[in-house]
A and B are shown apart, each in its own frame.
Chain A
């Protein structure tokens, strides 16, 4: 039932796209897009949002790439790192896809990157934020349209200092993603002259925070910076408010702390400050148009993941247009992809030499259960990629 509604909505969008896009060249061979995303399990919602965004972007441009029709090959990654190399090989060698789009999960990304290196398959990462993908492990055929943990948290360091906070406690789960995130904050905050009183690492995926909250209470920092996601994010923000700490100590966090969690967090979230490369309330013509089109097609508000999928689609649209639909010359295709500049719903988007987005990071405050954009925390932020030599 749901699919039918979606298809009809898409069809009308395709019509609109055709009208704008003009003549579409017919070609025998469709462009094959291999989607390696989680469609079941904990991350299924993310996989779906990315797919929706991607399909919307392509549908809005006449459901074609460089004049060729598009075939989607969807493979459920199950967010399972151990199956990643095998899954990716199947898409590249078995299905002969022209582009691989995925994954959501950083562990899966590690497995995919290995195959991307062996096969040279053009891979666009629409989420996974591990720093290495566009630094130590960067390669010409790999692009990322999302973020790195560092990119979203680094700007908060200056924001915290400018707001008068000098002594901060950081707390996250003891795993790579969490540690990369708070490292970005700590770097910027100490560069400004602030002091990190203590870095608290909670065993993953524990959501039992009482003893840590007591510890924070006795340390008496000016502010707390945190990264938790999903259920952990909801629990931490609610427990932090229930412990009364919120009344005296400002809570700062990565945008992922509260993204998609606002309803579950409820009142406890009011006043929490986060930084992220997108906010659904961003008041720009590009974002308003995107939100409207997304809602018309799927009935939901788009989230950060949908935008990342959408921009992946826009990259493909523009790059394929630039090469006239010819996927045979890979170097030309890679050059076209690296030169892309997007007028994205999240703001201007360009790519660094390591193929990572150069983008704005926004400061957002939760007011009345919405992420209100307070300002740009860091404009056109480029991530460090000294270890990348390609």
Chain B
């Protein structure tokens, strides 16, 4: 492996890792902080991609489509939390698993009814349609660089909100002891609705921003679900910092693993998870 090839793969690994962080960040909030097992995470990612596909063609602009799709995603989160999850917090985790598994089926079928079974794509927005030359025969799209920037910026914002704001303190406290925070006069019910909606919106946003880089097809969210759980578990449940480094680690491992040890390509992330959990059973940053 020469230096040029190594550098290109480093860039690929970093970009994939950052995108993984964005996709997993919603799960960190919902699963990591609120403790809700949301199996419909992948389906929400898919809904984000389909929304932006639909709205890009309706509104004629990718950016407008994202602006219009975010409120829809927040509304979806609101509805799901208030109508279904709200009644399940006091119950066993199994109920959340059943509910969110049901949501996968409902969202997947809704996708098929609204948008059909065909494969779609969203063109890369004009502004970032250029490419930089990496090696003599390889180029890299400006849009991928832009996505990296967005992911980094969002990582910073989420980290700052959770660590350094009053809202962040309340969120962390509410996750640890819901009753105590309620006793201090804070409306935890509203707080949880807020976090869940933001989590859904982040997940859907990941689908939106990834849409020009991927193909939009039924079931596209199913395969990312497991990877996201792996990222959150490796990083340490509830830790934004952990999810970030977990995502970078998995991104690098998949990128280099698939080329260097192709026979283990599909296993490599689980091997890493096993190794991390052996050394640090609660994850890297728990």
The residues of A with any CB-CB pair to B shorter than 8 Å are 40-45, 174, 200-203, 205-208, 210-215, 217-218, 220, 230-235, 238, 242-245, 247-249, 260-261, 263-266
Contacts and interface: CB of A to CB of B under 8 A. Distances in A.
A206 B223 contact: yes
A249 B135 CA distance: 14
A217 B8 contact: yes
B259 A245 contact: no
A234 B119 contact: yes
B165 interface: no
A234 B258 contact: no
Contacts of A205: 223
Interface string B1-32: 01011001100110110000000000000000
Given A232-B215, A260-B119, 16 more contacts: A42-B218, A45-B116, A45-B118, A174-B265, A203-B266, A214-B9, A214-B12, A218-B4, A231-B119, A231-B216, A233-B215, A242-B139, A245-B137, A261-B119, A263-B120, A264-B119
Interface of B: 2, 4-5, 8-9, 12-13, 15-16, 112, 116-121, 123-124, 131, 133, 135, 137-141, 214-220, 223, 254-256, 258-259, 262, 265-266
A231 B217 CA distance: 6
B16 A234 contact: no
Which applies to chain A's interface (DSSP): helix, strand, loop or mixed? helix
B262 A201 contact: yes
Contacts of A263: 118, 120
B18 to A, nearest CB: 12
Contacts of A42: 117, 217-219
Given A217-B138, A245-B138, A265-B121, A235 B9 contact: no
Given A203-B266, A217-B135, A245-B138, A210 B16 contact: yes
B157 to A, nearest CB: 26
Given A214-B5, A264-B119, A203 B265 contact: yes
Given A44-B117, A260-B118, A244 B131 contact: yes
A210 B259 contact: no
Contacts of A212: 258-259
Contacts of B215: 207, 230-235, 238, 264
10 contacts: A42-B117, A45-B117, A174-B265, A203-B258, A203-B265, A214-B5, A231-B215, A234-B217, A243-B138, A264-B119
A232 B9 CA distance: 21
A203 B262 CA distance: 9
Contact of B139 (A208, A233, A235, A244): A244
Contacts of A266: 121, 123
A253 B25 CA distance: 37
Contacts of B216: 231, 264
Q: Which residue, of B2, B4, B120, B137, has the highest number of chain A Cβ atoms within 10 A? A: B137
A174 B266 contact: yes
A234 B139 CA distance: 19
A238 B9 CA distance: 19
Contacts of A265: 121
A242 B131 contact: yes
A260 B223 CA distance: 22
Q: Which residue, of B116, B135, B262, has the highest number of chain A Cβ atoms within 10 A? A: B262
Q: Which residue, of A200, A212, A242, A260, has the highest number of chain B Cβ atoms within 10 A? A: A242
Q: Which residue, of A41, A174, A244, has the highest number of chain B Cβ atoms within 10 A? A: A244
Nearest to A201: B262
A207 B223 CA distance: 10
B139 A218 contact: no
Contacts of A232: 215
A235 B135 CA distance: 22
Contacts of A242: 124, 131, 139, 141
Q: Which residue, of B4, B141, B218, has the highest number of chain A Cβ atoms within 10 A? A: B218
Nearest to A174: B266
Contacts of B131: 242, 244
Contacts of A202: 258, 265
A215 B139 CA distance: 13
Given A44-B112, A210-B255, A218-B2, A200 B9 contact: no
A212 B13 CA distance: 12
Q: Which residue, of A206, A214, A218, A260, has the highest number of chain B Cβ atoms within 10 A? A: A214
A264 B259 contact: no
A249 B137 contact: yes
A210 B15 contact: yes
Contacts of B140: 243
Nearest to A46: B117
A127 B146 CA distance: 42
A211 B255 contact: yes
Contacts of B2: 218
Nearest to A220: B137
Contacts of B139: 242-244
A269 B8 CA distance: 24
Given A210-B16, A238-B215, A217 B121 contact: no
